[in-house]
Amino acid sequence: MTRFAFGIICLAFVLSACSGRVREIPSASDTPVSASNVEPIPTTSGCPSRYVSRITTIAESGGRVDWSPATDLIAFDRLGEDGYYDLYTMQPDGSNEVCLTCGKDGLIPQKNIGNPAWHPSGKYIAVQVENESHPGPSASSTPGFGLYNDLWLVSSDGRSFMRLTDTSGAQDSGVLHPHFSSDGKQLAWSELIEKPSLTTRGKEFGYWKLKVADFAIDETGPVLSNIREYEPGGPAFYENHGFSSDGSSILFSSNFGREGSALRNNDIYSMNLSTGAVTQLTAANYNEHANYSPDGSKIVWMSNEDNSGTGTDYWLMNADGSGKERLTYFNQAGCPESSADRVTVADNSWGPAGDKIVAYIQTDLLRQRGRIVLIELNTRF
> What is residue 38's predicted lDDT score, i.e. its pLDDT?
66
- What pLDDT is stored for residue 11 in this prediction? 41
**CA atoms of 283 and 3, how far apart (whole Å):** 16
- What residues contact 255, with CB distance under 8 A and at least 6 apart? 202, 205, 236, 237, 262, 265, 266, 267
pLDDT of the residue at 22: 34
Would you state the pLDDT for residue 286?
93
pLDDT given for residue 7 in this prediction: 46
Which amino acid belongs to residue 24?
A: E
Sequence-ordered list of residues with C-beta below 8 angstroms from that of 200, at least 6 positions apart, any chain: 21, 22, 23, 24, 25
Q: Is the torsion defined by CA of 250, 253, 254, 258 positive or negative?
A: positive
pLDDT at res. 2: 56
Rama region for 355: left / alpha / beta (φ>0; ψ in -120 to 50; rest)? alpha
Write out the chain's pLDDT in tens, 381 residues.
Answer: 654 454 445 444 443 443 333 333 333 445 557 654 666 566 555 788 899 999 999 999 999 999 999 999 999 999 999 999 999 999 999 999 999 999 999 999 999 999 999 999 999 999 999 999 999 899 999 999 999 999 999 999 999 999 999 998 787 899 999 999 999 999 999 999 999 888 888 888 899 999 999 999 999 999 999 999 999 999 999 999 999 999 999 999 999 988 777 778 899 999 999 999 999 999 989 999 999 999 999 999 999 998 866 799 999 999 999 999 999 999 998 899 998 888 999 999 999 999 999 999 998 877 778 999 999 999 999
pTM to 2 decimals?
A: 0.90
pLDDT of 201: 86
Q: What is the pLDDT of residue 364?
A: 82
pLDDT of residue 202: 85
Task: Give residues with Cβ within 8 angstroms of 321, minimum separation 6.
Answer: 37, 38, 39, 268, 279, 280, 281, 282
Q: What CA–CA distance (Å, rounded) separates 87 from 89?
A: 7
Helices marked H in the chain: 6-15
Domain limits of the chain? 3-20+37-377
Do 21 and 199 touch, CB atoms closer than 8 A? yes
User: In this predicted structure, what is the pLDDT of residue 309?
Assistant: 63
Give the Å distances, CA to CA, from 164 to 82, 136, 195.
25, 24, 22
Alpha helices, H only, 122-176: none
Q: What is the pLDDT of residue 42?
A: 60
User: Could you give the CA distance from residue 40 to residue 13 in angstroms, rounded to a whole number?
Assistant: 36
Of the candidates 159, 139, 158, the residue with the CA atom closest to the CA atom of residue 149: 139
Q: Which CATH class is domain 3-20+37-377?
A: mainly beta
Nearest C-alpha neighbor of 327 from the set 362, 301, 294, 309: 301
Give the per-residue pLDDT at 47.
85
